Amino acid sequence: MTETLESIAEAMVAPGKGILAADESSGTIKKRFDTINLESTESNRRDYREMLFRTEEAMKNHISGVILYDETIRQKAKDGTPLVDLIKQAGSIPGIKVDAGAKAMAGFPGELVTEGLDGLRERLAEYYDLGARFAKWRAVIDIADGIPTMGCIEANAEALARYAALCQEQKIVPIVEPEVLMDGAHTADRCFEVTEATLRTVFARLAAHRVKLEGTILKPNMVVSGKKCSTQASVQEVAEKTITVFKRTVPAAVPGIVFLSGGQSDEDATAHLNAMNAIGGLPWKLSFSYGRALQAAPLKAWSGKAENVAAAQRAFLHRARMNGLAALGQWKAELEKAA
């Protein structure tokens, strides 16, 4: 079959499958390794990711694609096999994070704008040659007193659209990730408002930049209460509010929406996704592109020790399976306890 943007995007959201976000930057993976008292060396990062990519049952059955970091897409497993080949052998698609991080936005105190457009065309061409068939760019929208501003939302949406257009020119499917953070004390209704404004702006800019929606995947936050908010929306409320926002703002031509976990507990991330798919009747596939919600359990089980590899792989398989079921609306809380 000839590979097209549409066929790649469809494969990324194949039924019962989702994406493993393993694209932690050097700074972020160090923070993760700090939690298990492990030094962040090149070989430790390789061993950790090799362990995940060699979890065959998880990768084959539940992981449609893996987002990699620049170092990882060039790394080889201990036996010399490129990590990209491990992913492909499992029938999964390699992807790459291409943004250069969210930086303080000049003139907009407390807000961030994501950098990385300069030279992006050439970097995408190289990543394509290294095997990447999709990419990711994350914009960060924070909620606090007086923010976000429309200036911040617009600057980030414009950058996302320019990134997405360049990806498609290079035959790479863009994952468009505008993340409204859940760190604050705001209510779920405030998250709803900000998510709605953000997605409206993002899709307007994607249209202005002639981005083909059929070859685009959206990676949004869910509509949740801020972590420090005293009242927390229920699973059903999160599912209903999130779907309501998407129906207003995400065109039906988008083949799939894959959520970030953003600091939700493993089980919340699964339960929310499941509740949305249980509602059903949606024009887009709804699945996952989790980092922490897929990796927290295996990272802890591994703790940097070779003798824990099998236990860590079991933990990864379990979360991948639970989220695969949630992508079908077939997850049940009892399945967590059974494991």
Question: At closest approach, how far in Å is the CB of 292 from ligand 13P?
Answer: 3
Q: Is 177 a catalytic residue?
A: yes
* Residue number with CB closer to ligand 13P (20 or 124): 20
CA gap 137, 260 in Å, rounded: 12
Q: Which residues contact 142 (CB under 8 A, 6 or more apart)?
A: 110, 111, 112, 148, 181, 183, 184
CA gap 58, 106 in Å, rounded: 43
Which of the following is catalytic: 177, 196, 241, 285?
A: 177
Which of the following is catalytic: 17, 136, 219, 285?
A: 219
Which of helix, strand or coil describes residue 252?
A: coil
* Residue number with CB closer to ligand 13P (139 or 280): 139
- How large is the C-alpha radius of gyration of the chain? 19
Question: At closest approach, how far in Å is the CB of 337 from ligand 13P?
Answer: 23
Entry field: residues in the chain: 339
Question: At closest approach, how far in Å is the CB of 224 from ligand 13P?
Answer: 12
Contacts to ligand 13P by CB under 6 A: 21, 138, 177, 260-262, 290-293
Question: At closest approach, how far in Å is the CB of 138 from ligand 13P?
Answer: 4
215 token code pair: 């070859």
Q: Which of 247, 290, 251 lies closest to 272 in space, CA to CA?
A: 290
* Residue number with CB closer to ligand 13P (30 or 76): 30
Q: Which residues contact 89 (CB under 8 A, 6 or more apart)?
A: none
Question: At closest approach, how far in Å is the CB of 175 from ligand 13P?
Answer: 9
* Residue number with CB closer to ligand 13P (261 or 313): 261
* Closest residue to ligand 13P, based on beta-carbon distance: 291
Is residue 221 exposed (0-12), middle (13-18) or buried (19+ Cβ within 10 Å)?
buried
Q: Is 332 a catalytic residue?
A: no
* Residue number with CB closer to ligand 13P (4 or 265): 265
> Long-range contact list for 39-42, CB < 8 A, 24+ apart?
42/71, 42/75
308 token code pair: 């824990």
* Residue number with CB closer to ligand 13P (11 or 293): 293
CA gap 170, 84 in Å, rounded: 19
CA gap 90, 79 in Å, rounded: 17
Question: At closest approach, how far in Å is the CB of 167 from ligand 13P?
Answer: 16
Kindly report the CA angle at 320 between 257 and 28, in degrees rounded to 5? 75
End-to-end CA distance of the chain: 39
Give catalytic residue positions.
Answer: 177, 219
